[in-house]
Structure 1
Amino acid sequence: MPSFTPGELAVMRILWEQGELKPSEVQQRFPEPIKNPALRSYLKILLEKGHVTRRKVGKAYLYKAVTPRQKAFRSTLSELIETYCEGSAKSLVMNLIRNENLSEKELLELKQLADRGPPKKGKRK
């Protein structure tokens, strides 16, 4: 799955949160002012990449995210691990622990999670 540009990600976030919308409704919710041609370009690219679908209702098109948020997250996370952590999830976690100033409570929760071990097959939460 290709990664999103910041503008594409902003559109996807809106569609994930709001569901099916007209371009004008996406534009109203966009985090910063965006001109209509730029927004339509993002929608066109996302449509071509297969991340959104559209359907015509009257004269307007409604756009809807089809790539699930969790799938996009997993793909981005994998890319992050490969690019910045030499393929090591452990390196990613260690960097997060060192750089995020986690509280003692948060560190304890992580330790308890690690002590439980990997989830058993068929019993994922």
Structure 2
Amino acid sequence: MKSLTPGELEVMQVLWQHGSLKPAEILEHVERPLTNPALRSVLRVLMDKDHVTRKKQGKAFYYSAKNSAPTAFKKMTQRLAEIFCSGSSVELIAQLIKNENLSEEEVRQLQELAQEKVAEPSPPRKSRRRKS
């Protein structure tokens, strides 16, 4: 998954929240001032990066996010783990915890979440055999 600039992410958040929209409708939901030509440029880049699709309905094009926000989040966190933590999601989570100034309540919430995860039945793991 190709990374998103802050402006691209803002447009993606609108599409994730509101679904398929025309550019004029997207502009209604974007918080910062953005011209129609600038938005169309962002949409073109998002299509080139394979984050957005468009369909023509009548005379208008409607733009949609190609992946849901949770799917995009999962892909982006996997990419962060690959780049900064040798692919280890555990190390990524550890670094996030170390770098945040967490309150006691937040630490307790994380501990509860970890305990819930431990209590979940785990799905069968795929074996990762190397080809000889």
Which TM-score bucket, shorter chain as reference? 0.7 to 0.9
- Matched to 2:47, the amino acid is L
Secondary structure, in 3 states, of the residue corresponding to 2:55?
strand
TM-score norm. by structure 2 comes to 0.76
- Aligned residue type for 2:39: L
2:122: which partner in 1? 120
- The secondary structure found in structure 2 opposite 1:114 is helix
Show the counterpart of 1:89. Answer: 89
Partner AA of 1:32 in structure 2: R
Of 53-62 and 10-19, the range deviating more from structure 2:
53-62
2: CA distance between counterparts of 1:60 and 1:19? 15
Deviations along 1:78-120, one digit per CA (max 9) or x if unpaired, are 2222223343333322332233222223212322333452651
2:75 maps to a residue whose letter is S
Residue in 1 aligned with 2:100? 100
Q: Name structure 2 gaps, 5 residues minimum.
A: 125-132
Describe the SS at the equivalent of 2:106: helix
**Equivalent residues in 2 for 1:63-78, closer than 5 Å:** 63-78=63-78
Show structure 1 runs of 5+ residues with no match: none
Partner of 1:8: 8
TM-score (structure 1 length as normaliser): 0.80
CA distance in 2 between partners of 1:55 and 1:88 (Å): 38
Comparing 10-19 with 82-91, greater Cα deviation is found at 82-91
Partner of 2:40: 40
The question of 1:17 aligning with 2:17 is answered yes
Name the amino acid aligned to 2:13.
R
SS at match of 1:77: helix
Count the aligned residue pairs.
122
Deviates more, 1:81-90 or 1:10-19: 81-90
